[in-house]
Every structure is written in C-alpha cells, then in structure tokens.
C-alpha cells in the first residue's frame, strides 16, 4: 500500500478508479467532475494504491462556511473489493468506519495545516446519501468511545445539504 497526493500525473489511474466506482453505483466518485474538486479551494486529493491500482480516494479542502477551517474526508471512497480491510481497525472506531482511506487522514491533516487551518472537520449527511447517513448514525452511536479522535460540533446546512459537522481532534486515526 502507498499513498500519493494528486498532481495530475495519475489521471489515467484516477479515470480507471472512477469507472470502477461508477460500475459499483457510487455516484459521488463516478467521475472526476462528480468528485467536485474544481468547486473547492486549496484541495489536497489523496490516492491510496493497492495492487498497483487506486483502491480508495479522499480529499481535504478549505471550508468557506467557517474561518480557518478545512474539511477532510471529502468524497471518501474505497472500492468494494477493498472494503474487507476495514475489519483490521479497532471496532467502533472512526478508522473502521472509513476503511483504508483512514491512512490518508494524516496527509489531509498536514495539507490543511500547511494552508493555515486552525480547525479540521468532516461532515456527514443527515438526509439524502444513504452511505453518509449511515456514517452519521455510526459516529453518533460510538462518539463516547472516540473522544480522543473526534467530537460533534453542530448540524449545519452546507452545500445544499443538512449535515452533521464533526471536529477531528487527532492527526492519525489509525492507531
């Protein structure tokens, strides 16, 4: 396994990943446009490679609805054939919830800090996308077990969606 920061040279690999996501009915990662990278500022997209292909992606960006804040875990996606690896993370952990892309969070954190972030958050949907709604329920259920890693901040309407906003408290969530 290795992680690369998107620099454009991985375009062919990312297009293949997006095609596999589309074939797996994952609309938010079905194309580079669907990932909405161009709509965000100060983006750091991270690609997780396994078996010489992109197995998962996730990115961070400046969250303009807050001051000095970056959102991590944007458009997080692990291809279905690699999802079994999440079982190796501690039960009820944030890392188990997002699977292999948990390894990209520390790189997203560093990118955000380098761009001046004072607060690092991620969001989950309260309505709409069923996977994100499932994540919201999971995080609420296990928040008391994960107080060193994250905390709930508020519900807020962001990007035309009612979302739960969570503050990330630790750079490395895989330990």
CATH code (residue 56): 3.40.630.30
* Domain contains 68: yes
Q: What pTM was estimated for this model as a whole?
A: 0.92
For residue 175, pLDDT beyond 90: no
**Confidence grade of residue 6 (pLDDT, cut at 50, 70, 90):** very high
Q: How many domains does the chain have?
A: 1
Distance from first CA to last CA of the chain, Å, rounded? 17
In a domain, 72, yes or no: yes
Structure confidence by residue, pLDDT tens digits, 58-95? 999 999 999 999 999 999 999 999 998 776 787 778 88
Whether residue 139 is contained in a domain is answered as: yes
Give residue-wise pLDDT tens across range 102-130.
999 999 999 999 999 999 999 988 888 77
Examine residue 173 and state whether it is found in any structural domain, yes or no. Answer: no
46 confidence band (pLDDT: 50, 70, 90): very high
Mean pLDDT score of the chain: 93
Q: Are 30 and 22 in contact (CB under 8 A)?
A: yes
pLDDT of residue 68: 97
In a domain, 77, yes or no: yes
In a domain, 175, yes or no: no
Closest CA relative to residue 164, chosen from 134, 27, 69: 134
Question: According to the model, what pLDDT value does residue 165 have?
Answer: 96
Provide the domain limits for residue 27.
2-168
* Neighbouring-strand partners of residue 77: 57
């Amino acid at each position: 396994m290795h992680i690369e920061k998107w620099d454009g040279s991985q375009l062919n690999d990312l297009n293949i990943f997006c095609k596999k996501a589309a074939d797996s009915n994952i609309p938010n990662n079905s194309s580079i446009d669907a990932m909405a990278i161009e709509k965000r500022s100060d983006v750091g997209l991270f690609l997780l490679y396994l078996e010489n292909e992109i197995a998962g992606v996730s990115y961070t960006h400046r969250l303009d609805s807050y001051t000095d804040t970056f959102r991590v875990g944007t458009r997080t996606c692990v291809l279905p054939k690699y999802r079994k690896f999440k079982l190796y993370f501690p039960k009820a952990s944030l890392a188990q919830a997002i699977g292999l892309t948990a390894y990209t969070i520390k790189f997203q954190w560093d990118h955000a800090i380098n761009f001046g972030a004072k607060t690092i958050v991620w969001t989950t949907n309260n309505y709409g996308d069923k996977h994100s709604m499932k994540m919201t329920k999971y995080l609420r259920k296990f928040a008391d077990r994960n107080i060193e890693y994250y905390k709930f901040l508020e519900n807020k309407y962001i990007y035309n969606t009612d979302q739960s906003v969570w503050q990330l408290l630790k750079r490395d969530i895989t330990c």
